[in-house]
Amino acid sequence: MSDTDIPSLLADFAREMAHSKGYPLPKWTSVPAGSALEKLPAPQMILGALRAIEVAPPLEDSLAWVMDYHLSPVIVGALRKRVEWDVESASPVLEQLTRMADRLDEGLITLGIPYPAPAVIASMDRSGLDKVSVADLASALVERYGALAVERSQQVAKVLLEGPPLDDIPGYTPLTKEQLEEGIARVSAYPDQSYDPTARKMLATLRSWIPGAPAWEADDWGEQARSLLESEASGREVELELLQLYPQHSGKFEWATTSARAGYGAFLGPNNLARLLKAVAALTPPHDDKEADVLAEAMVSAWESIEGAGRRSVKLGNQCLKALASRPEVLKRMLPRIAAASARKQVQAVIDAAS
């Protein structure tokens, strides 16, 4: 099948999907054009679908993206197979994603991606693709999404400043020019906050492909652990010291659209979380009382709820709990210090299982 046949085949598939009552179909290849599409190499199928989605207009008198709706199953179906990406197949797809990055869903608070770009990036990340070879393309995509977030915040600020008054909205308090400018500055410093969780995860994955990116964030733990992180020291004692630093935090945080900003204040950035999870793994199971106590203190601190921002790191707390499964006496001692009812139930379940 030649590349020139693919757009026609995708259009046929979209028409057939439009009459299907079972969307999204688990057996998306059951329609005739879908069966033909299945014969294409997965990267070629994905690229063709993305190109067709890009050029298709929204429905008349609607903000819906009809081709996103009907062609996303092509991409999802292709990704059900194990896709082996290489530089030649990944590069045009990343370039295509950059060209169509402004095709966004405008949520009430955050922006979303209507087509499954995050699933494509996750597939590349799981594959044997040499990420360094596509680092420039990954960087371009991250920068594009960052620029779009800033543009959107600027547009919103302009509407609020120059548009009609919104005094008739219950509970609405007008924002000053200075407050709006401060909001734009916050988005410029942390563009990811403008996106929904799925898109934020995709951006974090792309950043992990870029050499020279910070190995850790300057949150409370990162600042304390900097000398250890910069050293070449290794071994169980180093892991213990890294984990021992975690409960020593200020409790400060910066609010970011829908949650506390990761990598700022008491809340771990993604690199720091990964490094601390590695430390927990190295200390699992604990060899002595000191290691068990450090794991227990980190667990309680991770589950600590900071007013206005929620628990610091549920994932880290859960991993510490797993590490302490062999030390129920330590868990019993820590149980009264755990405030969250759901976390107390988790701990009690582990204690009961060890009895």
Q: Is the pLDDT of residue 144 over 80?
A: yes
**What pLDDT score does 303 carry?**
95
CA distance 136 to 224: 32
The pLDDT mean for the chain works out to 84
Q: What would the pLDDT profile of 213-266 be if each residue is shown by its tens digit?
A: 678 888 999 999 999 988 888 899 999 999 999 999 988 888 777 778 888 889
CB atoms within 10 A of CB 225: 22
- Name the percent of the chain lying above pLDDT 70: 82
Identify which has the larger pLDDT, 175 or 219.
219
Q: What would the pLDDT profile of 1-32 be if each residue is shown by its tens digit?
A: 466 566 666 666 666 666 555 444 434 445 55
**What pLDDT score does 118 carry?**
96
**What pLDDT score does 27 carry?**
47
When pLDDT is cut at 50, 70 and 90, the band that residue 60 belongs to is: low
Q: Is the pLDDT of residue 66 over 80?
A: no
CA 302, 275, 117, 200 torsion-angle sign: positive
When pLDDT is cut at 50, 70 and 90, the band that residue 78 belongs to is: confident
Q: Is the pLDDT of residue 105 over 50?
A: yes
Global confidence as pTM: 0.73
Q: Provide the 3-class DSSP secondary structure of residue 305.
A: strand
User: What is each CA distance from 19 to 15, 55, 93, 320, in whole angstroms?
Assistant: 7, 22, 29, 51
CA 274, 114, 138, 264 torsion-angle sign: negative
CA 95, 96, 101, 105 torsion-angle sign: negative
CA distance 48 to 5: 10
Q: What would the pLDDT profile of 41-50 be if each residue is shown by its tens digit?
A: 889 888 888 8
Identify which has the larger pLDDT, 241 or 168.
241
**What pLDDT score does 24 carry?**
46
Identify which has the larger pLDDT, 307 or 243.
243
Rounded average pLDDT over 126-154: 94
Provide CB contacts within 8 A for 83, sequence distance 6+. Answer: 42, 43, 46, 123, 124, 127
Identify which has the larger pLDDT, 88 or 56.
88
CB atoms within 10 A of CB 122: 16
**What pLDDT score does 254 carry?**
80
Q: Is the pLDDT of residue 162 over 80?
A: no
Rounded average pLDDT over 271-296: 95
Identify which has the larger pLDDT, 294 or 16.
294
**What pLDDT score does 273 carry?**
94
Q: What would the pLDDT profile of 190-200 be if each residue is shown by its tens digit?
A: 898 889 989 99
Q: Is the pLDDT of residue 166 over 80?
A: no
Taking alpha carbons only, the member of 281, 277, 131, 270 closest to residue 206 is: 131
**What pLDDT score does 3 carry?**
61
Q: Is the pLDDT of residue 163 over 50?
A: yes
**What pLDDT score does 4 carry?**
59
When pLDDT is cut at 50, 70 and 90, the band that residue 159 belongs to is: confident
**What pLDDT score does 87 carry?**
96
CA distance 200 to 192: 6
**What pLDDT score does 23 carry?**
45
Identify which has the larger pLDDT, 209 or 308.
209
